[in-house]
Chain A
């Protein structure tokens, strides 16, 4: 990185921390610290919801996903608008009416304390670990590509934001997210512009789309249908997106405190609803735009020689001369093929439609992909512990290798800021749940506001340290955006299921609810361990199983504690 990149990176990050500290004044009580005194307007709620969901992994993995698998990943977000509507109708009015601080508080009012504790624990474990991954994911990519020490990178990625999150709570989180998103959108717009600008003379945006489309990277809508019927293991198609993605979004926005805590900061029920509905409107186009950048990067590498493997650090770690020679031989073949492909694709982009020509460049691309797989297999053979999935490295490698000085620093800052936005909200919500759902529930004396405030700060700090420790131990998780989503899917089915029972089955009592939640969680663990069902379906299966099992228990267990919200 050049001196200018460093200046831009340090100035941006310091500016955000300073702004967070400037906005850190909050009331010394639980409502002030965790919910910003329920005072924010809808647009702040919207930006906070967006900033919480869009982590660094979103901006690193999504373009890589489009590069390797096309834009069909966007279908995963089709369920978001549906979920926003359901949450606005059923979830938000109840949370507002009961003036809860955490979503799990409602479960105690509806069921009992043990159900609240169990679901809060599920949340704390899953959110705590996934936040650790959210720190590690961008850190490992930055450290591999820029030669930074991974432990120090983890510390800066997860550590600096703790300063303003601890001091300012939800208010500082929301205000910094607002500024972070402005920088993120500016950085991404410039990256997209430069990707098109770097295309060879005579080849414009539409030509780039033409190439990308012919190579199967603009496959936004897919149905999952194969010659043998519907492919249930296909992760991204319109049905898994609408149904599986819808359930995942419902679980995430409706029951995950990191999101519930964002829209409960709104000054009224209407402002919460507008914030959520606007998120339903902008989320899909935003993801489409991010994936389109990945498709453009793919076209760029079709028109220019591309690296055989996007994570160069792996190659430099191999010391065996014989292995190095055979990797070099494969890379040499790949580079020759890639150069030839660039020549052909340029010719195609500048000329008109020619199906035979298209078939030739498709065949060449397939041959190059086979060579890439051969290279990865060789890497795995000589170094079995190596992670050969380089999807997450594609975008940043492109940025570092091809974008101009200054923009590299800005885009690395974007990665940090995206990470900070989601991690800060996660720490705030982890502390909220720890204090309200566990600590205060099991302490004997009722706490005074000042003690609760200080305790909340300490919990925020402790969760920050925990997540950094998880990040220091995370490794070999494949595509990291998927790792986070898979982790969420294992727990979200149970979390959503219990809320669905609470809202829609008022006759199901506390014991039936609690035991069905426990059995469902065990069942989902078993499914995850023993089957290869696509992770998006786990939410649907988990929530559906819990609802049915609770009805079964309700019919068989003695009826004692029956209540309604």
Chain B
């Protein structure tokens, strides 16, 4: 158990902002993929 600190090391990316952008981009890619999926099979 460790004490909470906002300066803890960010895993994988350099900053939390990069993590947030990654999650946002992933959502955008999913929506685009779903759009083409809908169009393709309709």
Contacts and interface: CB of A to CB of B under 8 A. Distances in A.
Contact of B23 (A85, A218, A221, A270): A85
Contact of A37 (B1, B23, B30, B34): B1
Contacts of B23: 81, 84-85, 277, 280-281
A214 interface: yes
A219 B19 contact: no
B14 interface: no
A89 interface: yes
Contacts of A212: 41
Contacts of B37: 218, 220
A490 interface: no
A362 B37 CA distance: 20
Nearest to B40: A213
A85 B38 contact: no
Given A88-B20, A280-B23, A269 B35 contact: no
Contacts of B27: 78, 81-82, 280, 284
A498 to B, nearest CB: 23
A111 to B, nearest CB: 23
A27 to B, nearest CB: 11
A89 B27 CA distance: 18
A251 B2 CA distance: 28
Nearest to B42: A213
Interface string A413-454: 000000000000000000000000000000000000000000
A530 interface: no
Contacts of A78: 27, 31
A267 B11 contact: no
B38 A81 contact: no
Interface residues of B, number: 25
Interface in B2-42: 2, 4-6, 8-11, 16, 19-20, 23-24, 26-27, 30-31, 34-35, 37-38, 40-42
Interface string A73-103: 0100010011011001100010011010000
A221 B34 contact: yes
Interface string A208-223: 0110111010111100
Contacts of B4: 96-97, 99, 268-269
Contacts of A85: 20, 23-24
Interface residues of A, number: 38
A99 B2 CA distance: 12
A89 B38 contact: no
A270 B1 contact: no
A38 interface: yes
A285 B27 CA distance: 10
Contacts of A81: 23-24, 26-27
Contacts of A284: 27, 30
B6 A221 contact: no
A220 B31 CA distance: 9
A235 interface: no
Nearest to B12: A274
B24 A218 contact: no
A421 to B, nearest CB: 24
Q: Taking chain A's interface residues, is the majority helix, strand, or loop, or is none over half, making it mixed?
A: helix
B5 A269 contact: yes
B20 A270 contact: no
Contact of B6 (A39, A93, A99): A93
Contacts of B35: 220-221
Interface in A5-51: 37-39
A171 interface: no
B8 A270 contact: yes
Instruction: Tell which of B4, B10, B24, B38 has the most Cβ of chain A within 10 Å.
Output: B4
Nearest to B32: A221
B30 A209 contact: no
A219 B42 contact: yes
A273 interface: yes
Contacts of A218: 37-38, 41-42
A82 B23 CA distance: 8
A471 interface: no
B34 to A, nearest CB: 4
A277 B38 contact: no
A157 interface: no
A44 B13 CA distance: 21
B28 to A, nearest CB: 10
Given A89-B20, A268-B2, A221 B26 contact: no
A161 interface: no
A37 B37 CA distance: 45
Contacts of A238: 31
Contacts of A88: 16, 19-20
Given A89-B20, A220-B34, 15 more contacts: A38-B1, A39-B1, A88-B16, A97-B4, A99-B4, A213-B40, A214-B41, A220-B38, A221-B35, A221-B38, A268-B2, A268-B4, A270-B9, A270-B11, A288-B34
For the complex of A and B, the 4 pairs showing the least CB-CB separation, nearest first, are: A213-B41, A96-B4, A220-B34, A218-B41
Interface of A: 37-39, 74, 78, 81-82, 84-85, 88-89, 93, 96-97, 99, 209-210, 212-214, 216, 218-221, 238, 267-270, 273-274, 277, 280-281, 284-285, 288
23 contacts: A78-B31, A88-B16, A88-B20, A89-B20, A209-B41, A210-B41, A213-B41, A213-B42, A214-B42, A216-B42, A218-B42, A219-B38, A220-B35, A221-B31, A269-B5, A270-B8, A270-B9, A270-B10, A270-B11, A273-B16, A280-B27, A281-B26, A284-B30
